[in-house]
Structure 1
């Protein structure tokens, strides 16, 4: 039967091409997602400023969440990535230096700075760490006294400075004048990184500690190995010496993670994105390939009937169908590898451009994702072929001969009803979890798959649903279209099974597009509204260096346009509750906002239900009321919670206030001066300002503008700019999801065209007979247009039903309403696109099939 399967492909070119395209596109998408996942797992970040170090010691950015019962060994561990740089005790450099095989252990600090006359930020470092790049002096001398600096060659050129010149540098909001004592040459890129080290200015050790505000701390420790000592061997020795110190020892391309710890979060982002959309691609491929193969087999009922009539066993028919499918799938999978490579790189570049992945991460696509993508594609095709072959082989010979001529409708049996009910129950369960359990970014993780689960259930009952909807939609079709509509309805009734195969891709495309697009618009709308409603400030003062001068808040408060209680510092970070146990806690932790007690009431629209925000001083915290009840059985005013902050520091905080907020917007409020030192910048990056009573927004902006004059890096923006920036961040994240969903939808749309063309092209003989009995070519075209409209209408209706199982619970969870947010034109565009694509994919092959003479077409083989 395998040889027969291969030989039949020569005479089934349209079916061969349709299956080939479906599997090829599926293989390309799966391979591309595999490459993104490999990049996230490997997370290669080539070092730049630390390129000369054999080993780099950095702070451990991975935090293990506490268990409900520390003694329970069966409870799964959860990990989160700390958002702030976890710094080291600089004294550890001495410990590392004593390790056998270490030639030098050099601590490094990095802090943002602004140079007058230079466009863009630079990073400040102690001169001793220049050896880690390595930088070398091109001219002049190293910093020897307070106020001496060395510039890298490119920074000196762009700022127009040379040895001996004076230069003004702003660090932590304070401007100082320094003397350029030397120019250092940066190493050329060529170690696999995209470019050399970032622009840098080097200070003496005392200046670096004073300016960074991090005396006794180090961002990382670069280790130079003694001659003859390998990196692996040295790492093992250093690990042993630093055991229990919450450090990580990095070699190879992992060394760059000590320079760019923010890249760690991109690992999880890439893995999650690849897993979610890869799984979606696999399910879509299963739908599409099964639909294509099923339609192909239905069109060959006469051939199958004859094979069964001459003694072919069901097993032989099954092996023939599977053999044909696997022969096509193997060729298509191999052909899909190359576009999969290209698609993976293109998607990665788009993620980098959107800021989801830092530029320092290197895209990796090795053999493993290719093998996995090929294996998954073949397995998907085999599963779809197995389902299709089972139906072809189960029919008795006499029934098959009758079916090939009449294609009678058969009610779905238990083999379809039971799995369909399971899918519907599963979709409702996901909806319940979405509404009652999930919150925040995790909401889409259960709402999203629901549309696919329901689509699978609807697909299992597609023949029955198609028959019922054909009768429902057929009446208005008859009343509006006359004879062509009557012929279209007769064809639809006689071809229910084949028609249902054409309906499936339309349903899938409509359901996925509607659900995913409106989930994004609903999420963005809810987030923007929550942010806008929580903001009472009329203006914001920000810093280009990441932190504002400590005394700036007092100067803002002294402005008569601001008035009493009209300004608060705003610091943002993430933390974890350690004690008591937090049953709501997830790997991403909880947003923390640092505020100033005197100004929070007038600038942030939160009202305490218990306690007072005015008590947010020292080691205190305000919690969302529902969240407070979930911590350790409930905490209230006066209780203490232990919070692990973003830099791994643990603090005991006294609860001084409880407040209400939107579901999914839960956060902590703590004093800004408590939180800021535990962030990477070390200072408040923003000051929210509210105008005094009777003062207009323009007058406030003018006063703040005058205050900011002469303060390098200080920027003043109005409320609209603040909300616009937040909205842009939300839209960027949504755009990434649009991109990946669009990729899968494009695959579905192409497959929808594929199916329609294949279903229509096989009807050449039927069209010839119709024309011999008096129908004109134009009447046949109108009939097929109406059939296509009926297919599109049924698919759109079923797809809309499938999308609602995702949209309604998602909207309730994130926006407290069953109605999703977003313009109506999105749905109308989806409907129009699906309809036009279906009609075009039907009329084009119809026009080609009716070009020949009716007698020739009527005599042609099917």
Structure 2
């Protein structure tokens, strides 16, 4: 199994590179924020400074943890699904599910440890930069020096390794269950069927987001800082819930737009066919778009509402408001970088794996231009799904917070923020997808099919 694992890693480098980078960036983020706990413990910080450090580590680091686990699970699921045929063939020649499971889990564990080791230095530098920002805003005294260890490295390794192993175990279990013949037949099609646990998880997250929105509108009407805390968490939960329901959303959107897209010719037919057959894999691409759009839009609008209300009242921002503003800016920065890398890596890995599929389409009569047109339509539809779902998720934050702070259900701020977020998402998605597809179709169709 060790030799097979190494050969598989070399043959499918794209998928594993995506998983590795997700683990690397995740470990960097985790150790960056966990170092605030080391700093609070070893620097002797007291009072408001110590509280700020702990809040920064627990609140932002906690949400970062959820995003890291989701990203690692998504990329590992994609890489293992891309190896479904290989795994089915191994089973057909006598490899037991247990041995295959150990192989895949071992690969994931090795990637996690390597990613953590390489992330130590960036995590240290990012932690110093974060503390410097807190110094510059006056939330932590200049005398408080940055500390790194033992909490930060331990949390970085433990969480990254645990999420990688758990994701590998869950994914490989789905891949190896059932008869070998059925597994071989399913390698050509990814129907995107969701387990009951995944559906239940998505619904629960949406209900939790709704609960926080209601709490913001009722219990937090006279608590500005507390309202920002509860409202700010609502869009994160809603975005995560919608991301979990991604395969179902993609199938429904593709089915509803099958007629209009079909009138666009071969490219439209290919795009619809791919989205319906591979909705599970395409959901991995839509996930970072939903997360980025929902969390960035909700947080930025909430921050803008708070600033406008404070300025209109002729007041100066309190220390608590500055702390929350810093938290929000850090969250936006973390999400921007993390989801951008997730989106680019996932698209590159998923599109590179489709080189054989593109070759088959060209041998069947499609031109390279039609293949690229289909990829462009897929990217446009996925971007649209991500933006619609992300905007819906942002409403769980914007509407209740605007109601509490500005006494308006819909804030009078214009679409500028949403347009900016949408533009970034669209550019990242389309540029990456088309760039990877162009490289894939440069290979002769016969050579691509023979790989």
Show CA shifts across 1:540-565 (max 9, x none): xxxxxxxxxxxxxxxxxxxxxxxxxx
Kindly indicate whether residue 200 of structure 2 is the aligned counterpart of residue 426 of structure 1: no
1:396-453 Cα offsets, whole Å, 9 max, x none, are 322211111233453x343333333322222222222222223221223222222232
What is the 5 A alignment of 1:204-223? Answer: none
8 Å contact kept, 1:528–1:727: no
Matches of 1:473 and 1:265 in 2, distance apart? 54
The CA distance in 2 between the partners of 1:38 and 1:821, in whole Å, is: 42
In 1, Cα distance between the equivalents of 2:427 and 2:418? 14
2:126 counterpart of 1:343: yes
- Which residue, out of 741, 757, 761, partners 2:348? 757
Could you say which residue in structure 2 is the equivalent of 1:789? 380
Q: Which residue of structure 2 lines up, in the alignment, with residue 831 of structure 1?
A: 422
Q: 1:348 to 1:492 in 2, by over 3 A?
A: same
Contact 1:470 1:794 in 2 (8 A): no
- Answer whether contact 2:38 2:150 (CA < 8 A) is retained: no
- Alpha-carbon distance between aligned partners in 1 of 2:285 and 2:323, rounded to the nearest angstrom: 35
Matches within 5 A, 1:737-752: 737-752=328-343
In structure 1, what is the Cα distance between the partners aligned to 2:147 and 2:310? 34
* Partner Cα distance (2:148, 2:20) in 1: 24
Matched, 1:406 2:193: no
Aligned ranges 1:242-261 → 2 under 5 Å: none
Aligned partner of 2:143 in structure 1 is 360
- Give the SS at the match of 2:146: coil
Q: Does the CA contact (< 8 Å) of 1:518 and 1:821 recur in 2? A: no
Cα distance between partner residues in 1 of 2:358 and 2:366: 9
Residue in 1 aligned with 2:235?
451
Q: Distance in 2 between matches of 1:29 and 1:364?
A: 16
Distance in 2, matches of 1:726 and 1:446, equals: 19
Deviates more, 1:470-479 or 1:790-799: 470-479
Offset at residue 24 of structure 1 (A):
0.3
Counterpart Cα distance in 1 of 2:446 and 2:60: 50
Structure 2 length-normalised TM = 0.92
What is residue 845 of structure 1 aligned with on the other side?
436
Which of 262, 280, 295 is the equivalent residue of 1:497? 280
1:238-317 correspondence runs (5 A)? 264-317=47-100
- Aligned CA distance change for structure 1 residues 368 and 406 (closer, same or farther; 3 Å): closer
- Which residue number corresponds to residue 808 of structure 1? 399
Structure ranking higher in helix proportion: 2
Closer/same/farther in 2, CA of residues 366 and 496 from structure 1, 3 Å limit: closer
- Structure 1 residues 284 and 413, CA gap change in structure 2 (3 angstroms): closer
Contact between 2:192 and 2:279, CA under 8 Å: does it hold in 1?
Answer: yes
When Rg is computed on C-alpha atoms for both structures, the one with the higher figure is 1
Work out whether residues 225 and 321 of structure 2, in 8 Å CA contact, stay in contact via their aligned partners in 1. no
Q: Mark the CA change 1:828 to 1:857 in structure 2 (over 3 Å): closer, same or farther.
A: same
Partner Cα distance (1:270, 1:841) in 2: 37
Q: Deviations over 1:699-755 (max 9, x none)?
A: xxxxxxxxxxxxxxxxxxxxxxxx6x6599967963552134212321111111100
Following superposition, the deviation at residue 370 of structure 1 comes to: 1.5
Tell me if structure 2 keeps the 8 A contact 1:478–1:485.
yes
1:732 and 1:435, CA in 2 relative to 1: closer, same or farther beyond 3 A? Answer: closer
Q: Tell me the equivalent position of 2:156.
A: 373
Does the CA-based 8 Å contact 2:298-2:394 persist in structure 1?
yes
- Which residue does 1:35 correspond to in 2? 35
Measured against aligned partners, the alpha-carbon deviations of 1:799-834 in whole angstroms (never above 9, x if no partner) come to: 222222222222223332222454411101111111
Alignment check: 8 A CA contact 1:317 1:392 kept: no
Q: Secondary structure at the match of 1:363?
A: coil
| Cα distance change on mapping 1:813 and 1:322 into 2, 3 Å | farther
Partner SS, residue 332 of structure 1? helix
- Structure 2 distance, partners of 1:523, 1:390, is 47
Query: Equivalences for 1:454-853 in 2 at 5 Å?
Result: 454-479=238-263, 481-529=264-312, 531-532=313-314, 734=325, 737-820=328-411, 822-853=413-444
Q: Distance in 2 between matches of 1:857 and 1:264?
A: 63
2:20 aligned residue: 20
Q: Secondary structure at the match of 1:405?
A: coil
Q: Provide the rounded CA distance (Å) in 2 between the counterparts of 1:843 and 1:434.
A: 42
Matches of 2:368 and 2:22, distance apart in 1: 31
Which structure's relative contact order is higher, taking Cα pairs within 8 Å and 6+ residues apart? 2
Q: Distance in 2 between matches of 1:450 and 1:731?
A: 21
RMSD: 2.4
Would the alpha carbon gap of residues 30 and 491 (structure 1) be closer, same or farther in structure 2, given more than 3 Å must change? same
Q: Structure 1 residues 277 and 767, CA, compared in 2 at 3 Å: closer, same or farther? A: same
Structure 1 window deviating more from structure 2 (481-490 vs 755-764): it is 481-490
Return the alpha-carbon distance in structure 1 between the equivalents of residues 259 and 319 of structure 2.
48
Tell me if the contact between 1:329 and 1:378 (Cα under 8 Å) persists in the aligned partners. Answer: yes
2:328 and 2:201 map into 1 onto residues whose CA distance is 30
1:168-183 mapped onto 2 (5 Å cutoff)? none
Equivalent residue of 1:361, what SS?
coil
Contact 1:772–1:854, Cα closer than 8 Å, also in 2: yes
**Distance in structure 1 (CA, Å) of the matches to 2:82 and 2:218:** 47
Question: Is the contact between residue 33 and residue 344 of structure 1 (CA under 8 Å) also seen in structure 2?
Answer: yes
Determine the C-alpha separation between the residues in 2 that align with 1:475 and 1:805: 32
Residue of structure 2 equivalent to 1:437: 219
Q: State the alpha-carbon separation in 2 of the partners of residues 728 and 821 from structure 1.
A: 26
* Partner deviation per Cα, 1:7-64 (whole Å, 9 max, x = no partner): 422222112211111000000010000112222344436xxxxxxxxxxxxxxxxxxx
Q: Is the 8 A contact 1:505 1:749 kept in 2?
A: yes
Asked if the contact 2:85–2:184 (Cα under 8 Å) also holds between the matched residues in 1, the reply is: yes
Q: 1 or 2, which has the higher strand percentage? A: 1
Matches of 2:113 and 2:96 in 1, distance apart? 26
**1:323 equivalent among 93, 106, 120:** 106
Gaps in structure 2 of 5+ consecutive residues: none
Deviations 1:252-282 (A, max 9, x none): xxxxxxxxxxx62121112112211111111
Q: Secondary structure at the match of 1:406?
A: coil
Give the Cα–Cα distance (whole angstroms) in 2 for the partners of residues 477 and 856 of structure 1.
Answer: 30
Partners of 1:790 and 1:340 lie apart in 2 by 36
SS at match of 2:366: coil
Is contact 2:243–2:286 with CA below 8 Å preserved after alignment?
no
* Aligned partners of 1:34 and 1:369 also within 8 Å: yes
